[in-house]
Amino acid sequence: MNGKLHSLTDVLKKTLFFFETMTVAEMAPHVQKIILRDFNGVQAEDKVSRCLKQNRCFEENGSGQWSLNLEGERDNDSFYAILLKRQQPMSIKEVYRGGSKNKRKFKSMVSEVAGLISDGRFIQLSNGYWGLTEWEVETGRYSLKQLVIKALKTHPGGLSANQAYELVNSWKPTTIKAIEGVLEKFPYFEKVGDGVWSYNSAGQIAYDALTKRFLVSLTRQRERWVKERDKRNGKQAAIERQLREIESAYRETAAALALKMEESGRQEQLVTQMAEKDLLLSLRKKEIFRYREHIMKLEAKSNSILYQCRLWVKKARDGEEDNRKLREALRKNQTSLETLFTKLQQYKEKDRENKARLVELKDRHATRVAELQTEIVELKNKLDRTLEIAVHEERGLKEEINSLSNDLKEALETRDEAQRNLRFAQQELNRHKEEKKNIESRVNNPLVRMAMRIYSWFGGYKNYTAS
C-alpha cells in the first residue's frame, strides 16, 4: 500500500493491528518518529493518550494495555467489502463513479467520514484515499525490541533465540546476535527453559515505570549540576576580576616607581642648576669686591667702608668655604648616586645624556668666566682712567659709593637668601636620599620584582625605560 498515513489515529490503528496490545509508553516512541517529531517524550505520550480516548475504535483492558476493535460498524460493511475485493486504496468519489446500483444506499452508509475514522478496519492516506488496516504493515519502521515482543506475544509458550530470529527476520532483516542482545538486555524477557524465552508484560510495565523515575531523577540531577556549574562559573569570574584588579594595581605601582625615579632625576637637575647659579653669584661677588677695593684705595675717607667690606669679604669667604664643603659633599653624594644608578641598566642612556649636558654647562661656565675676566680687564682700564680724573669726580664717586653700598646690601641679602635656598636644597636632598633608600628596599621586595617582570612581559618594559 503506497502513500503516507493521514493522521495520528491511522498510525495508531496500524500499530495496534500489528502488535494487538500495547501501552501508551510503548506506542509513543514509535509514533513520535513517524508523525510527532516536534514533540518531546511527555508531550507525545499525552497526545497519544488523548487520541486513544477520543476514538471508540480503541479499547483499554484496565491495566494500561490498549487494543484495536476490528468489528467495525455495520454501515461501513459495503465499503469494507469493496476495498477487500479491490485490494488497493480507493476514494469515495471513485466508488461513486463505479456505477453502484444503489448509490443512495451507499451514500447513507458512508455519508459521514467520521464513521470511517472511528472504524478500526479503515485507515486514511494523505492523498484522501482509504485503505484497510489489515493490509501490509511496514514492519521495518518498528524497533527490534517491539518486534521481539510481538513474536513472544504471539507464542505465549515461549520461543528460542533461533525461532525468534526466524520470525523477526521475516518482518525486518536482522541477525541472531542482535536478537540475543535484545533478549538479554531487558529484564522482562525471561528464560523459562533451556534457551526458551518468554515475555512478561507486568515486568515491562514495572521496568518502564522505573526507567521513567530514573530519567526524572537524572533530569533533576542535571538541573542541580547546571546550577552548581553556573555558581562555579560565577566564582571563577569573580576570581578573574580580582586577578585583573591585582594586575592593574601592579601596573600602577610600577608607574608610580617610574614617576618617582623621574622626579629624583629632576631633583638632581635642580641641584645642578642651583650649584651653577651659586658659582655665578660667587664670581659676581668677587668682581664687586675687587672693584670696591680699588675704589677704597683711591678714597681715604672710605677706610671705614673698606673695613666693613673686608669683614663682609671674610664672611663671604667663610660662606664660600661652606659652599665648597657643601659642593664636595654634594659631589660625593652625586658619586654615590651615580654608582647606585649604574646598577640599574635602564638609566644608562639617561646618565650619558646628563654627562653630556654637564660638559655643555662646563663649556658655558668657562665661556662665562672668560667674559667676566674680559670685563675685569676693561674695569681695570676704566679704573686707570678714573684715577686721572679722581680729584675732579670726588663728589660723583661719593654718590657712586653710596649706590654701591646699596648694591652691596642687596647682594648680601641675596647671598643670605641663596644660603637659605641652599639649606632648603640640602634638606630636600636628604629627604630624597631617604626616599631613594625606601624605594630601593621596595624594589628589592620579591613581589615588586615579580610585578616588574609581569609588566615587562606585557610590553610595558620598553615604555618604562623610555620614560
pLDDT at 107 over 60: no
Looking at per-residue pLDDT, the higher value among 156 and 422 belongs to 422
CATH architecture of 141-199: Orthogonal Bundle (1.10)
Q: The C-alpha cell of 70 is what?
A: 476490528
pLDDT in tens, 8-29: 777 777 777 776 777 777 777 7
Q: Characterise 459 by phi-psi region: left (phi > 0), alpha (psi -120 to 50), beta (else).
A: left
Q: pLDDT tens-digit profile of 281-293?
A: 888 888 888 878 8
pLDDT tens digits, one per residue of 204-222 = 667 777 777 787 788 788 8
Q: Where are the domains of the chain?
A: 8-137, 141-199, 254-466
Pick from 60-64, 82-86, 304-308, 424-428 the range whose average pLDDT is largest: 424-428
> What pLDDT band is residue 101 in, cutting at 50, 70 and 90?
very low
**Res. 4 pLDDT band, cuts 50 70 90:** low
Q: What is the mean pLDDT of the chain?
A: 77
How many Cβ atoms are within 10 Å of 247's Cβ, its own excluded?
A: 14
**Of 87-96, 208-217, 248-257, 416-425, the least confident:** 87-96
The CB-based long-range contact list for 6-10 (8 Å cut-off, 24+ gap) reads 6/123, 6/124, 6/125, 6/126, 7/35, 7/124, 8/35, 8/36, 8/47, 8/48, 8/51, 9/51, 9/55, 9/117, 10/123, 10/124, 10/125
Can you tell me the distance from the alpha carbon of 371 to that of 365, in angstroms, rounded to the nearest whole number?
Answer: 10
Q: Which residue has the higher pLDDT, 353 or 396?
A: 353
Give every CB contact of residue 391 below 8 A, 6+ residues apart in sequence.
Answer: none
Residues of the chain above pLDDT 70, percent? 84
Distances (CA, A) of 383 to 274, 290, 341: 33, 11, 51
